[in-house]
């Protein structure tokens, strides 16, 4: 059996070493395709592999067609909007993610970006503190929960809304549960997005919603660029010069945002949320174990295309 790690944005070497150990201990072969720049390289590399470990790498019908022996794809991470699930199912390929494995890394970056934003991107002028501010967490999954844990250390007042998580579970974590996304934006100084990119959430964060933030509001996005209605956000930020937008996923119109909103907008050059040695080790090794578990024992826990 041959397992390919195909990562346009590579894991830390220590994580690749751990993945290799798991795969070779099972008697399988490990191949690496890192930092590839052309889809053709991926199409070529998948030709003879049984299993695939990826990150945000795009797995579409063309890749699945090329991967004649492929049985399983594990997205080492949480969001699997980069994998065509219907095409995978049609090709009889199992798709899994590794929930929770990189969530602390993403949550820590939220605060790295937030301090940077509220201190005016370190321009020397007096900024504000996070202590006492109201933080809204949109979606209370693994990342949202970690954000709440860290926010408590900063002394923030923490609110959350999650359409799929009962209010009691949010309150049990010491967080104020509100009744809707609108209520969250009304109640909070800062809103942090942790929703997945799905057809339902596309452009969900729009002009009207963000306009509910109070004066000096900050929107922080470490989720996906697709959830933002970029034209709406841009219009609003043109009208309201008190708002800031910080993101770990550059908008499609990143150049316009950067040109129009100096001192109020920042995006990391490459998605960095999960880019820590620890998250790479956790997610990478979990992916390797899930592949071995599936190929050897038929375990389908964490399958997302059932
Ligand atoms: C995820 O969905 O797990 C995160 O967005 C991290 O993505 P990455 O593996 O591409 O850094």
Q: Is the pLDDT of residue 130 over 90?
A: yes
**Any ligand 1 atom below 6 A from CB of 284:** no
Of all protein residues, whose CA lies closest to atom 6 belonging to ligand 1? 274
**Any ligand 1 atom below 6 A from CB of 127:** no
Average pLDDT of the chain is: 98
Q: Is the pLDDT of residue 63 over 90?
A: yes
Taking the centre of ligand 1 as the mean of its atom positions, its distance from the CA of residue 274, in whole angstroms, is 6
The CA dihedral of 237, 240, 243, 246, to the nearest 10 degrees, is: 10
Q: pLDDT grade, residue 306 (50/70/90)?
A: confident
SS (H, E, C) the chain: CEEEEEECCCCCHHHHHHHHHHHHHCCCEEEEEECCCCHHHHHHHCCCCCEEEECCCCECHHHHHHCCCCCEEEECCCCCCCECHHHHHHCCCEEEECCCCCHHHHHHHHHHHHHHHHCHHHCCCCCCCCCCCEEEEECCCHHHHHHHHHHHHHCCEEEEECCCCCHHHHHHCCCEECCCHHHHHHHCCEEEECCCCCCCCCCCECHHHHCCCCCCCEEEECCCHHHECHHHHHHHHHHCCCCEEEECCCCCCHHHHHHHCCCCEEECCCCCCCCCHHHHHHHHHHHHHHHHHHHHHCCCCCECCC
| 272 CA: nearest ligand 1 atom | 11
**Any ligand 1 atom below 6 A from CB of 271:** yes
Residue of 9, 12, 55, 278 to test ligand 1 pocket, by largest number of atoms within 8 Å of CB: 55
Global pTM exceeds 0.95: yes
The pLDDT, as a whole number, for residue 204 is: 98
C-alpha 4/C-alpha 2 separation (Å) is: 7
Q: Is the pLDDT of residue 244 over 90?
A: yes
Tell me the sheet residues that pair with 221. 193, 247
Helix (H, G, I), strand (E, B) or coil at 213: coil
Of all protein residues, whose CA lies closest to atom 2 belonging to ligand 1? 79
Q: Is the pLDDT of residue 265 over 90?
A: yes
Taking the centre of ligand 1 as the mean of its atom positions, its distance from the CA of residue 286, in whole angstroms, is 14
Q: Is the pLDDT of residue 274 over 90?
A: yes
Q: Is 10 exposed, middle or buried (0-12, 13-18, 19+ CB in 10 A)?
A: middle
Helix (H, G, I), strand (E, B) or coil at 221: strand
Length of the chain, in residues:
306
**Any ligand 1 atom below 6 A from CB of 102:** yes
Q: Is the pLDDT of residue 172 over 90?
A: yes
| 79 CA: nearest ligand 1 atom | 2
Question: Under a CB-based contact definition with an 8 Å cutoff, are residues 74 and 98 in contact?
Answer: yes
Q: Is the pLDDT of residue 219 over 90?
A: yes
For 6-36, what is each residue's pLDDT tens digit?
999 999 999 999 999 999 999 999 999 999 9
* pLDDT over 70 percentage in the chain: 100
Work out the average pLDDT over 126-147.
Answer: 98
**Any ligand 1 atom below 6 A from CB of 225:** no
Residue position matching structure tokens 């999650």 = 162
Taking the centre of ligand 1 as the mean of its atom positions, its distance from the CA of residue 79, in whole angstroms, is 6
Taking the centre of ligand 1 as the mean of its atom positions, its distance from the CA of residue 194, in whole angstroms, is 12
For 288-300, what is each residue's pLDDT tens digit?
999 999 999 999 9
Please report the beta strands in 153-300, taking only residues with DSSP state E, as ranges in sequence order. 157-161, 176-177, 190-193, 218-221, 244-247, 265-267
Residue 224's nearest CA partner among 184, 194, 180, 181 is 194
**Assigned token pair, 218:** 């900050």
**Any ligand 1 atom below 6 A from CB of 55:** yes
| 98 CA: nearest ligand 1 atom | 3
Map out the domains of the chain with their CATH numbers: 2-101+276-297 (3.40.50.720), 115-267 (3.40.50.720)
Of all protein residues, whose CA lies closest to atom 9 belonging to ligand 1? 55
Taking the centre of ligand 1 as the mean of its atom positions, its distance from the CA of residue 9, in whole angstroms, is 10
Q: pLDDT grade, residue 144 (50/70/90)?
A: very high
Taking the centre of ligand 1 as the mean of its atom positions, its distance from the CA of residue 57, in whole angstroms, is 10
**Residues 231, 232, 236: CA angle, nearest 5 degrees:** 115
Question: Under a CB-based contact definition with an 8 Å cutoff, are residues 85 and 60 in contact?
Answer: no
Of all protein residues, whose CA lies closest to atom 11 belonging to ligand 1? 274
For 106-126, what is each residue's pLDDT tens digit?
999 999 999 999 999 999 999
Taking the centre of ligand 1 as the mean of its atom positions, its distance from the CA of residue 78, in whole angstroms, is 6
């Amino acid at each position: 059996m041959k397992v390919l790690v195909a990562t346009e944005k590579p894991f830390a070497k220590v994580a690749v070493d751990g993945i290799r150990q798991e795969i070779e201990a099972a008697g399988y072969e490990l191949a690496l395709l890192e930092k590839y720049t052309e889809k053709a390289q991926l199409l070529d590399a998948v030709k003879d592999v049984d299993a695939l470990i990826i990150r945000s790498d795009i797995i579409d019908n063309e890749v699945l067609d090329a991967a004649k022996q492929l049985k399983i794809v594990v997205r080492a991470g949480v969001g699997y909007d980069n994998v065509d699930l219907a095409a995978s199912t049609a090709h009889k390929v199992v798709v899994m993610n590794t929930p929770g494995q990189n969530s602390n890394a993403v949550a820590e970056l939220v605060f790295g970006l937030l301090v940077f934003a509220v201190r005016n991107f370190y321009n020397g002028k007096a900024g504000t503190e996070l202590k006492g501010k109201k933080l809204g967490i949109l979606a209370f999954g693994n990342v949202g929960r970690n954000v709440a844990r860290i926010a408590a250390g900063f002394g923030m007042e923490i609110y959350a809304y999650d359409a799929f998580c009962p209010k009691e579970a949010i309150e049990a974590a010491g967080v104020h549960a509100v009744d809707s996304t609108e209520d969250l934006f009304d109640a909070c100084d800062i809103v942090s997005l942790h929703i997945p990119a799905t057809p339902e959430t596309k452009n969900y964060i729009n002009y009207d919603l963000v306009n509910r933030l109070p004066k000096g509001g900050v929107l922080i996005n470490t989720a996906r660029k697709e959830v933002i209605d970029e034209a709406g956000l841009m219009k609003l930020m043109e009208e309201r010069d008190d708002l800031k937008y910080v993101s770990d996923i550059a908008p499609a119109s990143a150049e316009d945002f950067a040109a129009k909103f100096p001192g109020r907008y920042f995006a990391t050059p490459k998605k960095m949320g999960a880019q820590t040695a620890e998250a790479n080790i956790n997610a990478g090794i979990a992916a390797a174990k899930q592949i071995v578990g599936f190929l050897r024992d038929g375990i389908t826990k964490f399958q997302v295309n059932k």
